[in-house]
Amino acid sequence: MNGTTFAVETLALPRATQVTVDEDTLSVDLEDGRTVSIPIGWYPRLAFGTPAERANFQISGAGYGIHWPDLDEDIGIEGILLGKKSAESPASLERWLQKRKHSR
């Protein structure tokens, strides 16, 4: 046999069990016992949301994501664990903010 033998390990992501959002922090409890906390400034739609809008979330994707219907925001557990901030462009965020201003 020619070549190198290697093994590929697939990591299983833990699922979210609880989510808490306050004025500064998004905290996600995971089924493996960890709690991951992220500044909500990483996710501008959460930062601009009201406390009521931030409290209205659903754990989605069989526990691998979080959805805020009032804010049209979706955050995946994988991204949280990898430390990924929102990838929304400034232009998209500005359009969303203008739409919010006109709908209130």
Contacts 24+ apart (CB under 8 A), 20-26: 21/46, 21/54, 21/55, 21/57, 23/51, 26/75
**For the residues 9-25, what does the mean pLDDT come to?**
90
Cα gap 49→43, rounded to integer Å = 10
Instruction: Specify if 47 maps to a domain.
Output: yes
Q: What is the pTM for the complete model shown?
A: 0.85
Cβ–Cβ < 8 Å for 19, 28: yes
Instruction: Specify if 11 maps to a domain.
Output: no
pLDDT digits 0-9 by tens, 41-94: 999 999 999 999 999 999 999 999 999 999 999 999 999 999 999 999 999 999
Instruction: Specify if 99 maps to a domain.
Output: no
- pLDDT of 9 above 90: no
The helix/strand/coil state of 81 is helix
Instruction: Specify if 5 maps to a domain.
Output: no
**For the residues 25-39, what does the mean pLDDT come to?**
97
- Residue 22: which domain range? 16-93
Instruction: Specify if 9 maps to a domain.
Output: no
Instruction: Specify if 22 maps to a domain.
Output: yes
Instruction: Specify if 62 maps to a domain.
Output: yes
Give the list of residues 6+ apart from residue 37 with CB closer than 8 angstroms, or none: 25, 26, 27, 28
Instruction: Specify if 32 maps to a domain.
Output: yes
Give the domain CATH number at 78. Answer: 3.30.2020.40
pLDDT of residue 39: 97
Number of domains in the chain: 1
